[in-house]
Amino acid sequence: MAGSLVCGTGIAATGQQAKEPPAAAGVTGVTAAEAASAGKPRRLDEKIIASFSGNRCVTRPAQDAVMGFSLPTQIIEMLAKGGQKVTAGQMLLRGDDREESATVRLQKMQAETDLPVQRAKAAADLAELEYNRLKDIKDKGGSGLQEVERARLTFETSRIDWELAKIRQAQEVLTVERMESRLDRLRLKAPFNGIVDAILVDVGQAVSENEKVLRVVDISKIEMDVGSPTEDPRTWKLTVGDKAWVLLDVAGSPRLSEGRVDEVAPTADLGSRSRRIRVVIDNPEGPTQLIAGEPAWVRFSEPATEVVEMVRASGGA
């Protein structure tokens, strides 16, 4: 369940530089500037952001599912935890499904046996045999018409009962599928390959219908919805597959990545005079994998060499 995030423009730096405090007593090899910056969050250099001249946005997972049970239940088993990698179809949480599970097993027993069909067929075969015997006797002058007609009707009724038995057998199989569907509503499974972001309940906790209990995300790709200004002629010419350049803030260090246009909205927002452009970048596993939810800046023309060199000089890639 991925919501759209509309991006805006960069933010200029404000505020004054703090004075450097004296070095802490007993600490050697630490400058006053380092002591002043200790414990403070790092921010991307505003000069790099301004030189890059991109549209500000927020990164998000390629797939994002916030899940809950469609029936009121009680959590009886947790099979995953936050940060765990999961595969599509893997069980994550179980509600109290004991009664439904027993009902499914009972219904399967009824669906897997064809004894009622065999019995109905045997009755039809017996009625056919009786009918044919009485008809032969009548042809030889040894049986009355009423007895033959009664046997014929019994045979026809038995054939109908046999067909009805086959229909009921098919209905038993469909009933199993219906009950299994209800059972699945008490079991939360991963909708795609990804990572459990958070589980919001504990074993034994009662949850209501549609209460959000866990979130699964896929960050193998990172998406951004960029509000590209309609005053820019390039916005009108963008198509799926076009290149995009993305400046990322990674713990205060710049990283320059190349992405691609994945969606181009056919409409514009009048208030912001912008058009939604979805940009995707690959995000392979490893020490350089990005965290979704961080700020980014996107442009649709290759940045100048000076900007690239500025990023590299700042320790970025």
Question: Which residue(s) pair with 279 in the sheet?
Answer: 224, 261
**Helix (H), strand (E) at residue 20:** none
Q: Do domains 42-65+217-313 and 67-95+187-212 have the same CATH topology?
A: no
Write the CB contacts of 264 (distance below 8 Å, at least 6 apart in sequence): 238, 239, 240, 275, 277, 278
Write the CB contacts of 186 (distance below 8 Å, at least 6 apart in sequence): 69, 71, 73, 94, 95, 96, 97, 100
- Residue ranges per structural domain of the chain: 42-65+217-313, 67-95+187-212, 99-184
Q: What pLDDT is recorded for position 28?
A: 41
For 251-282, write each residue's pLDDT tens digit: 888 999 999 999 999 999 999 999 999 999 99
Question: Which has the higher per-residue pLDDT, 152 or 18?
Answer: 152
Q: What pLDDT is recorded for position 137?
A: 83
Domain 67-95+187-212 class, CATH top level: mainly beta
pTM of the model: 0.70
Mean pLDDT of 227-239: 94
Mean pLDDT of 153-173: 92
Q: For a pLDDT cut of 70, what percent of the chain falls above it?
A: 86
Band of pLDDT at residue 143, cut at 50, 70 and 90: low
Q: What pLDDT is recorded for position 145?
A: 82
Tokens coding 57: 């946005």
For 45-90, write each residue's pLDDT tens digit: 899 999 999 999 999 999 999 999 999 999 999 999 999 999 999 9
Band of pLDDT at residue 19, cut at 50, 70 and 90: very low
What is the Cα–Cα distance from 7 to 294, expressed in whole angstroms? 12
What is the Cα–Cα distance from 309 to 72, expressed in whole angstroms? 57
Determine the Cα angle at 202 with ends 201 and 203, to 5°.
Answer: 135
Check the CA dihedral 163-164-169-170 and report its sign: positive
- Is 107's pLDDT higher than 70? yes
Would you identify the CATH topology of the domain 42-65+217-313? Elongation Factor Tu (Ef-tu); domain 3 (2.40.30)
Check the CA dihedral 19-23-24-29 and report its sign: positive
What is the Cα–Cα distance from 223 to 282, expressed in whole angstroms? 9
In terms of Cα–Cα distance, which of 7, 6, 15 is closest to 43? 15
